[in-house]
Structure 1
Amino acid sequence: MNAPLHADWRPVITPRPMPVEMLQALQARFGARCSTAQAVREQHGRDESTYDAPPPDAVVYCESNEDVMAAVKLADQYAVPVIPFGVGSSLEGHLLAVQGGLSLDLSRMNRILRLNPEDLTVTVQAGVTRMQLNNEIRHTGLFFPIDPGADASLGGMAATRASGTNAVRYGTMRENVLGLGVVNAQGEWVRTGTRARKSSAGYDLTRLFVGSEGTLGVMTEITLKLYPLPEAVSAAICHFPSIDAAVQTTIAVIQMGVPIARCELIDGNTVGMVNRHSKLTLREQPMLLMEFHGTAASVAEQAQTVQEIAADHGGESFEWASTPEERTRLWTARHHAYFAAIQSRPGCRAMSTDACVPISRLAELIAESVADVDASGLPYFLVGHVGDGNFHFGYLIDPAQPAERELAEALNHRLVERTLRMEGTCSGEHGVGLHKMGFLLDEAGPAAVGLMREIKRALDPKNILNPGKVFAN
């Protein structure tokens, strides 16, 4: 593999100061919705990553497409960076103002613009969160299934091509975004895609922007697929004698074609953290947390098949959760695994990985990676959306100890080496951001990354859209 892009692991800070004339123009246009208060700037200058960087020069709260267009036009005029901001839940430094500039807060753009239940589509503003959307459309009998864990904004989820616990059945944001409204680097509003389920008309601009991490345009509207709420839902947990047994069960379930909706791995170490955080009494062994969607008969059939497969691999103590309250309790515990891990080592920060490989290589990759981190002695947690070959280590590091950060980086580097050797990807769902620029080069190769750079230069010649992310500028 190539050496990491920045051996020092700290973000490269190359400020591009905002001219006084631009700030005055922003204040004239936005009034109190343009802030230079230190607390506001600091809030918009950090995410859930382990990186630190100076805050943006100013924050503008946008409430319409016209607001975004006006702000980006000024940024284009003065060649000042623009960084879209949703709720700040990204994990790879996407929001950090490594070149200074303007943070565009889209959280007030939180309206559902058009709901078409007969077509199973909805168009929302970028600041709508996934939980807000599902709460507001529940009366239709439909739901939006992509669940990355955090109550992220749908604009942020589209920008990072997010997925999460339901991806094994419903896919990722890539498969579920039909169209976009995007403000380009010149401040023009562009529509991509339609509400039709397919199209052969021209270049697929929607897929170009989905996953571009704010480096090609600012998403303001998203048209999404919706799905009928399943007639029956059942969740189960099953404990295993080893991580390998749990993963082999997952592989067998997928290869058998069982349409499982969710299949989450939690290792015994992490189960203990979850128990202490959420006041549960789960057995502290490797565990699969599964969910089945469909008719009552199909759910029962799926569950029976999975139970038999699990038994063949030493799975035991199947526990069922059929009521909404029981399922919510289990899934809340799973979604709180990150916070449980952080609480287990006060003052620590978690450096999270998100490797993804073909399902047949998953057991091998996890086994090698667990052995590596166990030998290192560094505290960690392990969870995974293993139904689609994706899993996460969270290395728990003391930010005051650079040696721990360097150890975590070395572990992550070896993990990615294994992942690429097994024809996987360095990022299954978190994105590249600041952290994985070197890995992207290893994975895609110089020619492909060069093509990405050409696209970036063509769409953003002044390099104002979230500069310094995906690849160094």
Structure 2
Amino acid sequence: MISTNEKLVTALRSVLPEKQVTINQTVLEQHSKDESYHASSLPDIVVFPTTAEEVSNTIKIAEQNKVPVVPFGVGSSLEGHVIPYDQGITIDFSLMNKIIEVKESDFLVRVQPGVTRSQLNKELKKYGLFFTVDPGADATLGGMAATNASGTTSVKYGVMRDQVRDLEVVLADGTVIHTGNLAEKSSSGYHLNGLFVGSEGTLGCFTELTLRVYGIPEHIMAARATFPTVNDAVAAVVSILQAGIPIARVELVDEPSMKQVNVYSETAYKEQPTLFLEFHGNEAGLKQDVEFMNEIVADHHCEKIDFETDNAARTQLWEARHNLAYAYVHGNPGKKLMVTDVCLPISELAGAIEHAREALDSLSLTGGIVGHVGDGNFHALLMIDMNDSDELKKADDFNEKIVMYALERGGTCTGEHGVGVGKRKYQEKEHGDGLLVMEKIKQALDPDMLLNPNKIFKQKNRG
């Protein structure tokens, strides 16, 4: 008797080249996990499409056979988004990695979803342009749109949703639609870009993105400012923003994390609460901004501030920040990294970080606090022994504490990582009856609940 999987493989190979459909065990294992601490789960089949038509045909076969479909970029997500807990077909977009068109006069670029952030910026540099969203990981642009990623530059340029002008999306029945156009603004119809960006593959699969890009700044200056306390550092950021200084990046790294930075990146930075800052603009304007900023940080007990204009020194500074997660992993062999992610109004940020630090210390967990504090977003990096049930419970309790603190003060359970399965349990608390609207949208667009099932919210008619 022919198994269901064999029938599915045969059907898929009738619409895709044979080598683009695999049940190889190693490949299945590669697609059973992401960068998170969440348990892995194997898909039944992995396909590697190269066109929107192949994605559409794959989804049509899945719909005919009532088989779940999970989109996959590079697996850098942090809340289990790409883990196929209902098995089925994983669509890997790594072969859809073409930069289709750079429209430099419109400050737009058209790309396939498998293009990575660094790949795009390497190409854009030829035109004097760059793409701003910088989540740290070299994620695919399709994955970044799926989770509404942001990162270090969002304080100046906005998050992924702000950069998406149009998406080509394959829906649950295989229909291909466009969600926007090339115009700077529109008052026509529902805002489908806003609906699909951040939908985490639950409403459709992206096969092309049109994104906003920016001119490379004339002058870039980075700085590293140390403070006696985290509260002083956060208060300084609030004052900088209130003063209207056009800061491009501002990252907080607490004292334990600065120690990890020095060990891993072989730097000799002062091991105190530190702000990593960056300013974009023209040289004369930045000089005035920096002078004003110096006065502001001095009022908040800044002990030392070092400026970097040299490209190599700036790169080293930001690589040290971006590699912080790996620094914790490297410094705690045998443990798994858990990254929390909450976002609050700026006025509530200092209290939230202080609360998180106290909770971390009281539970005796190894970890540090970092954040894109210019937009109220911060993370705790925890190192967990996955075989220690007591430590796992402590980590879960810690995450619950900081999420509830954020929600009670008008914040969100996730500023940029997305919901996946890790933040699913907080959705009703955060959205109330708004969650029912989301469920109705899901039901309307994916009535069989096949697209990335049981992500964002628990589905009522599937597992």
Q: Same fold (TM over 0.5)?
A: yes
**TM-score normalised by L of structure 1:** 0.95
Whole-Å separation in 2 of the counterparts to 1:433 and 1:161 = 12
- The letter for the 1-side match of 2:262 is N
Whole-Å separation in 2 of the counterparts to 1:471 and 1:344 = 35
Distance 1:77 1:301, change over 3 A: same
Match of 2:440 in 1: 454
Whole-Å separation in 1 of the counterparts to 2:421 and 2:402 = 18
By how many angstroms is 1:76 displaced?
Answer: 0.6
Match of 1:24 in 2: 10
Match of 2:387 in 1: 400
1:43 equivalenced with 2:30 (yes/no):
yes
Match of 1:466 in 2: 452
Whole-Å separation in 2 of the counterparts to 1:450 and 1:291 = 41
Match of 1:162 in 2: 149
Whole-Å separation in 2 of the counterparts to 1:262 and 1:405 = 33
Match of 1:442 in 2: 429
Larger deviation, residues 147-156 vs 303-312: 303-312
Whole-Å separation in 2 of the counterparts to 1:62 and 1:28 = 13
CA deviation vs aligned residue, 1:433-452 (integer Å, no higher than 9, x gap) = 0011111111111x111110
Whole-Å separation in 1 of the counterparts to 2:48 and 2:109 = 24
CA deviation vs aligned residue, 1:303-361 (integer Å, no higher than 9, x gap) = 22222111111112211110110100000000000000111110111111111001011
By how many angstroms is 1:18 displaced?
Answer: 5.4
Residue aligned with 1:136, SS: helix
CA contact (8 A) 1:18 1:57 kept: no
Task: Return the match for 1:321 from 303, 308, 325.
Answer: 308
Match of 1:142 in 2: 129
Task: Return the match for 1:420 from 404, 407, 411.
Answer: 407
Whole-Å separation in 2 of the counterparts to 1:418 and 1:85 = 32
Structural RMSD (CA): 1.0
- The letter for the 2-side match of 1:225 is R
- The letter for the 1-side match of 2:399 is N
Q: Counterparts of 1:123-202 in structure 2 under 5 Å?
A: 123-202=110-189
By how many angstroms is 1:45 displaced?
Answer: 1.1
Whole-Å separation in 1 of the counterparts to 2:29 and 2:408 = 39
By how many angstroms is 1:28 displaced?
Answer: 3.3
Whole-Å separation in 2 of the counterparts to 1:18 and 1:379 = 46
CA deviation vs aligned residue, 1:206-248 (integer Å, no higher than 9, x gap) = 1110000000000011111111110000000010001111011
> What residue ranges of structure 1 are gaps of 5+ in the alignment?
1-16
Match of 2:273 in 1: 286
By how many angstroms is 1:137 displaced?
Answer: 1.2
CA contact (8 A) 2:5 2:44 kept: no
Whole-Å separation in 1 of the counterparts to 2:230 and 2:169 = 43
By how many angstroms is 1:19 displaced?
Answer: 4.3
The percentage of aligned residue pairs carrying the same residue is: 45
By how many angstroms is 1:384 displaced?
Answer: 0.3
Whole-Å separation in 2 of the counterparts to 1:18 and 1:407 = 42
1:115 equivalenced with 2:89 (yes/no):
no
CA contact (8 A) 1:19 1:78 kept: no
Match of 1:365 in 2: 352
Residue aligned with 1:282, SS: coil
1:71 equivalenced with 2:58 (yes/no):
yes
Q: Counterparts of 1:301-380 in structure 2 under 5 Å?
A: 301-380=288-367
Residue aligned with 1:29, SS: coil
CA contact (8 A) 2:169 2:177 kept: yes
Whole-Å separation in 1 of the counterparts to 2:37 and 2:144 = 20
- The letter for the 2-side match of 1:316 is E
1:260 equivalenced with 2:247 (yes/no):
yes
Runs ≥4 residues deviating over 6 A: none
Whole-Å separation in 2 of the counterparts to 1:91 and 1:113 = 29
Distance 1:314 1:70, change over 3 A: same
Whole-Å separation in 2 of the counterparts to 1:426 and 1:260 = 25
**TM-score normalised by L of structure 2:** 0.97
Whole-Å separation in 1 of the counterparts to 2:13 and 2:258 = 50
Task: Return the match for 2:91 from 99, 104, 107.
Answer: 104
Distance 1:18 1:406, change over 3 A: farther
Residue aligned with 2:142, SS: helix
1:207 equivalenced with 2:194 (yes/no):
yes
Larger deviation, residues 296-305 vs 352-361: 296-305
Match of 2:370 in 1: 383
Residue aligned with 2:279, SS: strand
Residue aligned with 1:178, SS: strand
Task: Return the match for 1:56 from 25, 37, 43.
Answer: 43
By how many angstroms is 1:387 displaced?
Answer: 0.5
Task: Return the match for 1:87 from 62, 66, 74.
Answer: 74
By how many angstroms is 1:29 displaced?
Answer: 3.0
CA contact (8 A) 1:18 1:101 kept: no
Match of 1:10 in 2: none
CA contact (8 A) 1:86 1:105 kept: yes
By how many angstroms is 1:67 displaced?
Answer: 1.1
Whole-Å separation in 2 of the counterparts to 1:101 and 1:305 = 57
Whole-Å separation in 2 of the counterparts to 1:371 and 1:72 = 48
Match of 1:299 in 2: 286
Residue aligned with 1:235, SS: strand
Whole-Å separation in 1 of the counterparts to 2:291 and 2:163 = 30
By how many angstroms is 1:151 displaced?
Answer: 0.5
Whole-Å separation in 1 of the counterparts to 2:369 and 2:45 = 37
- The letter for the 2-side match of 1:70 is N
Residue aligned with 1:193, SS: coil
- The letter for the 1-side match of 2:273 is P
- The letter for the 2-side match of 1:460 is D
CA contact (8 A) 1:48 1:88 kept: yes
Distance 1:296 1:82, change over 3 A: same
Whole-Å separation in 1 of the counterparts to 2:288 and 2:62 = 57
Whole-Å separation in 2 of the counterparts to 1:49 and 1:440 = 19
